[in-house]
Structure 1
Amino acid sequence: MASPRLRKAAHVLLYLNLCMYATVLGIGGWAMNRAIDHGFLIDKGFDLPAHFSPIYFPMGNAAAGFFVVFALIASVFGVASAISGLNHVRYWGIDSLPAAAVAGTIAWALTLLAMGFAWKEIDLSGRNSRLITMEAFIIILSATQLFYVGAIHGGAAMEVTAVKSATPSKPETTV
């Protein structure tokens, strides 16, 4: 039988990650809305401004646009993996593990990608407090999502071992 501690840890990490991904979605949505409302207006007969970037954000620095876009993608996938994880934590069996494990691993990989842009944004400086908050959440999520994936894999390994030891082995027959 799987360790109740691993199941409890996965449950706590799942809810923590869900709340943090939802917060990143809210802040990222605000940043995207602000960028759309206050971005460049290019019309017929106008020249592009010098150093034009298709991902222009009126706040932050040159990495802010990339960071916000990838943080939004990672957060949407993180929320989806949390929904899949809720099903797995509820049943905690080897049947529900593959969906939760794959979704959690991909969400973690996308979060690491967003974290790379967060580090670049920190390195360039010149960002506002909301982007600083979003960076902190993404950096923390990169660790907590890894711990969550490890907890569900550890519980699954214990479950598989328990199932294998409970089933009697068949004697081999030679033909």
Structure 2
Amino acid sequence: MEVGRGSRSLIRVLLIVNFVAYLIVLGLAAWSIDKYIDGEQDHPPGAIGECSVLIGFTHLRAWRSDSLATAASSAIISWAITALSFGLVCKEIIMGGHRGKRLQTLEAFITISALSQLMYVLLLHAGMLSTRFGPNYGSSS
């Protein structure tokens, strides 16, 4: 049985979910900035999240310990910035007021991307701790 085979398929699913969610966040955030130029910013989580997903696909293809370290470090940075954006979403929801459907959709997708990115980060870090979930350290295959 291939090393880390079970987590590899789960990582693939999480990367696809993250890719779609971050693309939607980017599109809705671009619309939001265009409509409300007053400092609303949600581009960084989408752009950095997409970069993290692309690095994750590279790791999925290579499946080596050096690509695991790169994917894990970019994923944790992406999750941290997405978590900050999620905090702003929570603040907007608690404050209430009228928000359009697109802004509510943006909030929902930021929440989805924060949770799926967290699961992706946890799975990558499980791969660092055990060969059951990721590539062997020191292996070049």
Counterpart check, 1:5 vs 2:6? yes
Superposed counterparts of 1:1-175, under 5 Å? 2-36=3-37, 55=39, 65=40, 69=41, 71-125=42-96, 126-159=98-131, 162=136
- Kindly name which structure, 1 or 2, has the bigger radius of gyration based on alpha carbons: 1
Question: Could you tell me which amino acid in structure 2 is paired with residue 135 of structure 1?
Answer: E
Q: Percent identity?
A: 34
Question: Could you tell me which amino acid in structure 2 is paired with residue 86 of structure 1?
Answer: F
CA positional deviation for 1:92: 1.3
CA RMSD of superposed structures (Å)? 2.0
Deviation readout 1:85-142 (Å, 9 max, x if unpaired):
1110111110101211111001100011001100111112221111111111111111
User: Do the aligned residues in 1 keep the contact of 2:7 with 2:123 (CA within 8 Å)?
Assistant: yes
CA positional deviation for 1:162: 4.7
Unaligned runs of 5+ in 2: none
Whose helix fraction is larger, Structure 1's or Structure 2's?
2
Between 1 and 2, higher relative CO (CA 8 Å, sep ≥ 6) is seen in 2
- SS of 1:7 mapped into structure 2: helix
Unaligned runs of 5+ in 1: 37-53, 56-64, 167-175
Question: Could you tell me which amino acid in structure 1 is paired with residue 122 of structure 2?
Answer: G
Distance in 2 (alpha carbons) for counterparts of 1:152 and 1:162: 13
Distance in 1 (alpha carbons) for counterparts of 2:12 and 2:127: 12
Misfit runs of 4+, over 3 Å? 159-164
Question: Could you tell me which amino acid in structure 1 is paired with residue 99 of structure 2?
Answer: R
Question: Could you tell me which amino acid in structure 2 is paired with residue 137 of structure 1?
Answer: F
Aligned length in residues: 135
Distance in 1 (alpha carbons) for counterparts of 2:137 and 2:110: 37
User: Do the aligned residues in 1 keep the contact of 2:4 with 2:135 (CA within 8 Å)?
Assistant: no
CA positional deviation for 1:2: 2.8
Distance in 2 (alpha carbons) for counterparts of 1:161 and 1:133: 37
Return the TM-score normalized by structure 2. 0.87
